[in-house]
Amino acid sequence: MKHIYLNLKRFDVPTEFGGVNRLAPVKDWGKAIVSGTQEGLKKYDPSEVEFAQYFPEAHLLGAVEALSEGSPVQVGCQGVYRMDTAPGGNFGAFTTNRPAAIAKALGCSSVIIGHCEERNDLNGVLQEAGVTDTAAVNRILNKEIRLAVSRGLKVLYCIGEKDTELDRWQEVLREQLEIGLDGVDKSMVVIGYEPVWSIGPGKTPADKPYITKIARFVKEVTGGIDVVYGGGLKVDNAEMLASIDEIDGGLIALTRFTGEIGFYPDEYLEIIRTYLGK
């Protein structure tokens, strides 16, 4: 099984507000993305490849409502909170947070957890509180994963090492995997590998041997969980990533990095065609 994920981050912000959204008015943005991609994805065998798209919460209802009959798109959200509603317990005192219960109720079937941007945010909060325990973030993410899975949500769990961690990448990734997946039904999880040290302007992208080495390590530690490349699946690297047997898919974000930078449905479909070879 191949897995193609789309993390739409905050690509909904219009250009006049400093964002990259030239696609549709904000109120129609989620609908426009699902409508603009689902027909092109229907040609792929759902037993061979799955497609999940992670939207900011404001766009979940529009995305779900745009799903056509037999749509291959799994609408997903960008994270869940470390606590959830419970009968006889907390029925909704979660101001500003998104428990797994509402993600499911809104129509989500998948969630991305542990993306490097989420890890950076959690680390920043913990540092402000004086916490230096490097495992703390992984423990929080473990709670999120457990609650997501308990609600029947599939999880893309992201891991990765920074440039300051390259000399001990095995230790860092093993901690992220072992703590993050502790007590989790692994059949509901796919691992997204983000080489944080290689992502961004001016940085050298991770090459095929390095990605292959990491994917083998992850499969060894996890007992064979599927691994996708989370450093950005693009037209430029799609054929290379497709040639790595240990990689089971990829995570797409922006589709255009020069000129009118942004996410465009037709370019998203082109990336998928290039990666899958059809």
**Long-range pairs, 181-188, Cβ under 8 A, ≥24:** 181/142, 181/145, 181/157, 181/222, 182/142, 183/142, 183/146, 184/142, 184/145, 184/146, 184/149, 184/155, 185/149, 186/222, 186/223, 186/225, 188/149, 188/153, 188/154, 188/155
Tokens 């696609």 belong to which residue? 23
Other C-beta atoms closer than 10 Å to the C-beta of 80 total 27
**Residues paired with 250 in a beta bridge:** 4, 229
**How far apart, in whole angstroms, are the C-alpha atoms of residue 242 and residue 34?**
25
| Amino acid found at 91 | F
**How far apart, in whole angstroms, are the C-alpha atoms of residue 124 and residue 133?**
12
Strands 49-55 and 227-229: unpaired
Q: Please pick, among 3, 50, 59, 115, the residue that the annotation labels catalytic.
A: 115
- Is 150 exposed, middle or buried, given 0-12, 13-18 or 19+ CB atoms closer than 10 A? middle
Is 3 annotated in the active site?
no
Is 194 annotated in the active site?
yes
Cβ neighbors of 36 (< 8 A, separation 6 or more) are 23, 265, 266
**How far apart, in whole angstroms, are the C-alpha atoms of residue 11 and residue 146?**
28
Q: Which residues are catalytic?
A: 115, 194
